[in-house]
Every structure is written in C-alpha cells, then in structure tokens.
Structure 1
Amino acid sequence: MNDQARLELSGVAGTDLQVRAGEMIALIGPSGSGKTTLLRQIAGLDPLPTGTVRIAGRDMTGIPVERRPSTMLFETPVLFPQLSVEENIAFALGRGRPDATAADQLDVALTSLDLRRLRTRLPHQLSAGQRQRVALARALVRRPEVMLFDEPLAHIDPAARAGLLREITRVHERLGSASLMVTHDWADALAIADRIAVMRGGVIVQVGTPRQVYSRPASAWVATRVGIPNFLSAQVEAVSADAGEHRVRVSALGRQWDVPAAADLRAPGEGCVLLGHPHAFTMTQVPESRDLDPRRGRVLATTFGGDHVDHDVETDAGTLVIRRPLGPTEEPWDRGTAVEVRLVPEAVWAVAE
C-alpha cells in the first residue's frame, strides 16, 4: 500500500484507485454513469458488488456507515429540522469528548464557515448555500479521513457558487482528507480537482490531472464530456516517437500533419479521430474563390466572448469551432467570410475511432 493513500479502491468501478491524504478527485460523467452510486458504496450506504474499499489501510467490508471514518455531503444537506445551526454541528461531535474540547471545535467551525451570526437559526430559515456550510461545519468537527461530495453546488445560486467552492476547498485542505467530489460542471472540476476521474456505465474510464484529461482525453467519448467541440476523421499514415512522445502522421485540411496520439494508435491505415479545442485551429481571411480547396472554409456563425470570438466554420471535413483573439478595436468576422484553416499540431490529439 502507498503510505500516503488515505482511500484505496481495489477492483471497484472497473479500476484500482488510490486517493492520497490532501488530494481532491472530481468525478465527472453523464447522469446515470454511477458517480453517486460509487460515493454511496464508499460511504457504506449501498452494497459493494465487487472489489474492496480501504480507508487509512483498513478494509471497510462489513463496517457500517456510522463507524466508517468518512463523511458524505449530499446534493441537499441532511440537517435535523428541529435543531439550530449550532445544535446540528454539535450533534456531529458525539459523546465522550471533554466539554472544553467540544466547545473549542464548535467555535472554530462556526467561525471558519462564517456561521456565528446564524447559530440560533433553524434549517428552514437558511438559504441553500448556508445549509451546505452547516454540513461542511459538521464535517470539520468530525474530522473524517475521507470526504465525499455529491453535487454540493447543484442547488446553489450562481452568485454564491464561487464562495462555497472556496469553502469546500478550505475545509478539505484543513482536514487533509482524501476527497471525492461528484460534479456535472467541468469548470468546477477544473477549479477544485488535483485529478479528474471520468465515469461511463459504472466504470472509471480515465483518471488524470485536469490538464491531462482536458488535453489528452482517452477517447472521443471522453472528449465530449470535457467540452471538446472539434472532431476530424483521419487515417494514420505513419507512426513515430518524437522525444519519447507517441505521434502519428495524418492528412487533414489539405496537408499532412504530425500530431501527438494515444498509444493504442500503432498501425498505418488505422482510422483515427483528431480532437481539438477551439484554440487548436487558426484561420486567416482569404479572397473569395470557386476553386475546390480542402484548406478553405466559410464562417457560419460567431459567438462573442469578450476578449475572443468563437467562429463556427464550415469546411469539407465538417464544421469546426475556431477561437480568434479579439483586440479592443476588432470586430468578429461576418457570416460568409472566406477563410483558410490550419490546425496547431501540438494542440491536437489523435485517438482511435
């Protein structure tokens, strides 16, 4: 066992996964992919069909939920409706602790999460964000080895989301817990996670840093989950290793390109898909022409983004979303503008069809 691993999953969700103390992993995937079920299995709320869960080196098989050193925060916080904020938090302290210690822990939790002025209120008198802060405060006083977050921002007002996300991060870092957070929001995953795990059909299909998953998705399906809009069909013409990086040569947009590729693309003649974010392509305006040229395209639509604009560009290979920086005096290109399109080889990623 890795001595730093606080949470270990062996043969669970189709993989082995270790979550270190102080590490936050975001679980993403479509509805019904098994994210919440996995959290419930770790917490002991649902049975584990296969594999083993270990927390701090201890096998959790047969350990009931109330005895596991883990805390789960739900989409809708579970608070005692008849108890005040202070009483809800104090309840998590349990019995058998010195009164002074319990009082100190309660005071720290109330202060840390800005709940002192709300200490006498009942749950129905709180906003959704305030109720989640109470749930965080209970986790803080329990000091769990593992924290599990099931869409904790789902019902939070957009104006309060960033603040609560910071609170979650602070509590996680203060406890040094091994944490898993389910989210449908890719931006939240990027903001909070040390690593991201992508789930599909009850199986974890990729685990990596946010940068790895964003730039090097394991498949075209994963690419759809991380917001990659551009998919170009191509064929592998040659395979090489440049400075140890696996690469393939493909033809696209009227010329050949050497691009980074997934390791399972190994044989010339294989079909592949080139994946690219909007910044993975560039374009320049060109004169109108009736000549057939696979490098050419035409602007179909524009989306203004402040300091940039995303153009939907029709090409022979399909419609691409291409991002162009926008200076203070520049305007988006008009619909119908003729352009020549190029890809940025290092920003494209080739995967098997």
Structure 2
Amino acid sequence: MNRRYLALVVLVIAVVAVSLIFYLRPSGEVSVKEEEYYWMTVGGNSSRTYYVPIAPSPPLEEVYRCTLEGRVVFPLVADSSRIYLPIGDVILCLNKSDFRELWRLKYSGSLLSPPTVSDSYLAIGGRDGSAILINSTKGEEIWSVPLESSVLTSPIITETSVIFTTNDGLVVSISKLSGELEWSYKLPGIISSPSASREGLYFSLSNGSLLALSIQDGSPLWIQKLGDVPLTSPIYLQNRIYVAVGSGYLCILDSKSGSLLEKLGPFGAIKQVSVGKDGIIVATPFEVVYVSNGSKVWRRVLPVSCLVSSPCRVYVTTLNGSLAVLSKEEGDVEISLNIGGNGLSWLAVESKRIYIITTEGLFVVFKGG
C-alpha cells in the first residue's frame, strides 16, 4: 500500500510540475526558427551566421549538375525534403532525394528578395511590393499582401508571423495564419536583410547605425551609431551582434543594450562574415581570414564569391569557378574542385551536402562524409 501511495504522489507531483511550466511561461513570447541543419534562408538561418554545426567532410562526390533556364539572382534555400530555386520570376521546387521537379510557381512580377522557408511555409517578396506566403509542400499561394514599395530583403518567419522589409524601409509583421497586418515600423533607410533572435530584429541602416526592434510588437529597443556605413547584414549569436563597416572593421555589439563591445580589424573591404562559437571568418574580395579570441590566426588568398564555415572547415566558392575546402585550424586547402563558369556564385552547406548555384544558371550538388 505504501509503495502504491508513493507512486501516486510522485505521479501527481510530475503532473503539477508540467502544468506549472506551461502556465508560467511568457504568454507573449515569439520565437524564431533557428534551424542549423538545413539552409532555410540567407546565411543559413535567421541569425545570418553562415555557419553550420555539422558539414560534409572530404572526399566530396558530385551527385548532381544541371543548367537552369533563366536568370539566377538569389541564393537557393532548402528544408528537410525540398530545394527551392529562385529563377527570374519563377520559384522552382526540387525533390532533395532525386532532384525531380515537384512544382514551379510563376510570379506575375519579378522577385526582388531571397526566399525564406520554415516548416511548410515559403515566404518571398516582389518588385511590385507583394509580400507572399506559399505552401512549400504544394507550391500554392496562401496569401499575398500589397505593400507600399518593393520587398527588398529576405523575409523572417517566426512561429506566428512573417516579417518583410520594403525598399523604402517599411518593416511589417503579417500574421502567418490570416495574412493580416500585425504591426509596422518605418526605418530611415536599410542596407541588407535583417537578422533575428527570440527577442529582437536587427537592421543595418544607411545612416551608419544599427537598430534593434522588438520582434513581438516592432517597438524600438535601441539604436547605435557605428561611425561608418554598415556593409553586411547583422549577425546574431549568443547575445552578440556582428556587423562589418566601410572602414574595414568588424563591430561587435551587445544585443540587449546595443553597446559597442569590440572592434576587430581592419581587414580591408569586408565582403562577408561567418560567425560560430569557435571563432570568426572574415572574407574580403581577395582573402579569407580566421579570427579567434580577437586575434588573426591565419589568412588565405582566394578570390572569394561566397563562404560558409563549420567547426572543422571553411567552404569557399571563388570567382574563377572553383570550390575550395579549407582546414579551419590551419587554413590549408584540403580540396579544390572545379565547378565551371566564372563570376558570382552562392553556396549552401548542410550536414551531408553542398549546394552551389551561379548567376549563369549552373546548379551543382556535392555529397561528403
């Protein structure tokens, strides 16, 4: 009898504890999907880190190659089972396992913003000011909301909302379910796609400032003058914001207060930044630099088009049509593969695959260990 009574007491305590967890959690909390294993948006995730925790290791095997019909102007995105390619005024969806076309959606105007995918939703923006949400499984439009001007940046998808930013600096949050406007905020001028945390949205502004808005209601949290024009999208990681400025420095700010914590550099004309828990990769048009604990560890001369870093390696597509895989520890080139073509390319890295798409329409997929 005592054992049964004790078991009953333990069960009641467990039920009460679980109930309290749900009861006491903040009712207004809005969280952002920060997927790390699929390339969901520009930079891989809404934090724009260009960093993946698990990545393919050499040797790399080319498993797919094709030439796409149409002008490629944005990087691809992917989820667990599908790849989404923005080509001109079309979104092309491919099956991940065999690269078979699943659907294509033609947009009446041209696309102006890179897409974002999360769960079964794909968000895109148009030159005509349309903010669009698509069922990513079926390729069917869920809603389209007209905005004041062209949608300029990659959307951010939260659990309840989709956030768009227009060419004239209007930030709008739209209900994922109903397509109704939740809040809006007018920026003085935006440079690139914002990043997001669970609490905030972070914007690089053309007036040389960094601005944080509440992701819940769009109210301003802080603004920090950087003393120079930002060159990159803000990167959010562990309560820090990283942004490159025109003078060649990388500024690191506290995401809660906006206070400037550190300036690294100068590096020259910074093209891209990748941030992980193990360090920072800074790319200029002509070299890749690894920074750890505030000091430059190594640099490698490369004509950089795009890069992604992981705990052990740095993946770089170059302007002369190659893929270089560098050792994170030493910066040595472990492998260099010819992609083909010349010019700008975009890189997406997942746990076992590397996707490359070029402005010439070349689409190449590599598989690694």
TM-score of the superposed pair, with normalisation by structure 2: 0.24
